[in-house]
C-alpha cells in the first residue's frame, strides 16, 4: 500500500481553515455531480459530503422531513455547486457512511466522519460554511463586474485611439511586447462585443504586416445568419478592404479554436497563419475534433499556434455561460 494516499490517512488531515478555503474554491464551480466526483475527485467529494453532514446533529436523530429540510438549506447555500437534490444527496450520505439512519429507518444523524476531516469538523458549524461560500460568491461577482468595467474603459480608450490609427491603438492599449498576445487581447475585446449583444463571446482580428485590417465577433443570432461566426465576419471585412477574396499573408487571431466551417473558409482564403486562444474540444477544427487547417489532402495549409491567452479566452466563455444560467 502506498503511503499517504488513503483518505483515512491522518497525516493528510485537513484544518478547519483549509476546509473553508477549499469549499470556497469549489463554490466557483457549477453542476458538480456526485457520481462523477466519486471516481475523479474523491477528496473534494468527501469534503462536500462532510459539509452536508455538518448540517445534521451528532447527538440526536432527525426525522426524514427535518433532515431533508437541513439538506435543502445546504444545497441552497454552501452546497449550491452540487448538481443534486436533497433526496439523492441523503441517499449518497447514507450509502457512503456520512449519515447514519437508525435501524427503524426513521431518524438521521451525522455519522463518524472520515479521519482526515474529523478534527476540523469539530471546529466547524454549518453557518461558517455558508458564510465562506457566500463571501467567495460575492468576490466572484465583483471580479466579473471589474472585468466588465475594465472592458468598457478599454473600449472607450480604443475608440479615441482608433482615430490615430490601428497600429497606435495596438501599441498603446497593451504594454506587452508579444504581438500574438497583443492581437489576441484585441480579439478578446471583440468577444466582449458579442457578449454585450447576448451572443456567445468569440472575437477575431485579421492582421497583415503588423496592422489590423479587420475585426469581427460572433453574431449569428442578431444577424439571423448561421455563418456569422467571428472569423467569417473578420475575413469578410478584410477581403472587402483588400478588394481580394484571398487573404494572402494575413494572420487570423480568434479567441476560440475555429469550427470546421471557419477553418474551411480560412483555407479557401489562403490565410497564412492562425492564432487561437482556447481549444474547443467539442467542435474545434484546428486539431481538436478535425484538423482542417493542416490537412494534407487540401492544397493549402495554415501555420497554426493555439493556446495564446487561453485562460482569458476560456474564462470569458465560461463566465458567459455561467451568467446565463
Ligand atoms: Zn466557426
* Ligand 1: centre distance to CA 275 (Å): 14
* Nearest Cα to Cα of residue 49 among 82, 76, 16: 82
pLDDT band with cut points at 50, 70 and 90 for residue 159: low
Q: What are residue 254's DSSP bridge partners?
A: 204, 276
Strand order of the sheet with strand 273-278? 211-217, 203-208, 251-256, 273-278, 303-305
* Ligand 1: centre distance to CA 259 (Å): 4
* Nearest Cα to Cα of residue 45 among 54, 35, 31, 55: 35
Q: Is 97 left (phi over 0), alpha (psi -120 to 50) or beta?
A: left
Taking the C-alpha atoms of residue 42 and residue 47, their distance in angstroms, rounded to an integer, is 9
Strand order of the sheet with strand 107-110? 62-63, 107-110, 99-101
Query: Is a pLDDT exceeding 70 seen at residue 167?
Result: no
Residue 149's pLDDT is: 75
Cα distances (angstroms) measured from residue 165 to each of 156, 191, 212, 302: 15, 21, 9, 28
Contacts of 106 (CB under 8 A, 6+ apart): 61, 63, 64
* Ligand 1: centre distance to CA 240 (Å): 19
Percent of the chain with pLDDT over 90: 68
* Ligand 1: centre distance to CA 233 (Å): 10
* Ligand 1: centre distance to CA 261 (Å): 5
pLDDT band with cut points at 50, 70 and 90 for residue 8: very low
Residue 144's pLDDT is: 77
Cα distances (angstroms) measured from residue 10 to each of 73, 100, 120, 231: 30, 23, 12, 54
Residue 70's pLDDT is: 95
Q: What are residue 305's DSSP bridge partners?
A: 275
pLDDT band with cut points at 50, 70 and 90 for residue 3: very low
Residue 9's pLDDT is: 53
Query: Is a pLDDT exceeding 80 seen at residue 176?
Result: no
pLDDT band with cut points at 50, 70 and 90 for residue 11: low
Length of the chain as a residue count: 325
Residue 10's pLDDT is: 56
| pLDDT per position as a tens digit, 259-272 | 999 999 999 999 99
* Ligand 1: centre distance to CA 204 (Å): 11
Place of cell 498603446: 172
- By annotation, the residues acting in catalysis are 231
Residue 4's pLDDT is: 41
pLDDT band with cut points at 50, 70 and 90 for residue 36: confident
* Ligand 1: centre distance to CA 167 (Å): 27
143: number of Cβ within 10 Å:
13
Residue 168's pLDDT is: 46
**Better-scored residue on pLDDT, 12 or 97:** 97
pLDDT band with cut points at 50, 70 and 90 for residue 274: very high
* Ligand 1: centre distance to CA 187 (Å): 14
Asked if residue 154 lies in contact with residue 182, where contact means CB atoms within 8 angstroms, the answer is no
H helices within 109-175, ranges in order? Answer: 115-123, 126-162, 166-173
Residue 229's pLDDT is: 97
* Ligand 1: centre distance to CA 251 (Å): 16
94-98, 99-103, 162-166, 317-321 — most confident range: 94-98
Contacts of 179 (CB under 8 A, 6+ apart): 210
Taking the C-alpha atoms of residue 187 and residue 125, their distance in angstroms, rounded to an integer, is 46
pLDDT band with cut points at 50, 70 and 90 for residue 160: low
Residue 169's pLDDT is: 44
| CA-CA-CA-CA dihedral for 274, 277, 279, 283, to nearest 10 | -60
Amino acid at each position: 500500500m502506498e503511503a499517504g494516499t488513503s483518505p483515512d490517512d491522518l497525516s493528510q488531515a485537513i484544518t478547519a481553515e483549509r476546509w473553508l478555503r477549499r469549499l470556497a474554491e469549489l463554490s466557483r464551480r457549477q453542476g458538480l455531480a456526485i457520481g462523477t466526483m466519486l471516481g475523479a475527485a474523491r477528496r473534494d467529494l468527501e469534503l462536500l459530503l462532510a459539509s452536508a453532514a455538518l448540517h445534521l446533529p451528532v447527538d440526536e436523530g432527525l426525522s426524514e422531513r427535518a433532515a431533508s429540510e437541513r439538506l435543502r438549506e445546504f444545497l441552497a447555500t454552501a452546497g449550491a455547486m452540487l448538481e443534486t437534490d436533497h433526496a439523492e444527496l441523503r441517499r449518497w450520505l447514507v450509502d457512503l457512511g456520512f449519515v447514519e439512519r437508525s435501524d427503524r429507518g426513521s431518524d438521521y444523524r451525522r455519522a463518524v466522519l472520515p479521519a482526515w476531516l474529523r478534527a476540523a469538523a469539530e471546529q466547524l458549524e454549518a453557518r461558517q460554511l455558508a458564510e465562506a461560500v457566500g463571501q467567495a460568491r460575492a468576490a466572484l461577482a465583483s471580479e466579473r463586474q471589474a472585468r466588465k468595467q475594465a472592458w468598457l474603459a478599454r473600449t472607450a480608450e480604443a475608440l479615441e485611439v482608433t482615430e490615430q490609427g490601428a497600429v497606435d491603438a495596438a501599441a498603446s492599449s497593451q504594454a506587452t511586447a508579444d504581438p500574438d498576445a497583443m492581437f489576441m487581447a484585441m480579439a478578446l475585446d471583440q468577444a466582449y462585443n458579442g457578449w454585450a449583444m447576448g451572443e456567445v463571446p468569440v472575437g477575431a482580428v485579421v492582421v497583415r504586416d503588423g496592422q489590423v485590417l479587420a475585426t469581427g465577433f460572433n453574431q449569428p443570432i442578431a444577424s439571423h445568419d448561421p455563418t456569422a461566426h467571428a472569423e467569417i465576419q473578420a475575413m469578410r471585412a478584410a477581403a472587402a478592404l483588400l478588394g481580394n477574396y484571398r487573404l494572402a499573408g494575413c494572420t487570423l487571431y480568434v479567441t476560440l479554436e475555429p469550427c470546421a466551417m471557419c477553418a474551411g473558409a480560412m483555407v479557401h482564403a489562403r490565410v497564412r497563419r492562425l492564432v487561437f486562444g482556447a481549444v474547443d474540444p467539442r467542435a474545434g477544427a484546428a486539431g481538436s475534433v478535425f484538423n482542417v487547417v493542416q490537412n494534407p489532402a487540401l492544397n493549402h495549409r495554415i501555420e497554426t499556434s493555439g493556446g495564446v491567452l487561453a485562460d482569458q479566452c476560456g474564462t470569458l466563455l465560461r463566465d458567459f455561460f455561467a451568467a446565463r444560467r
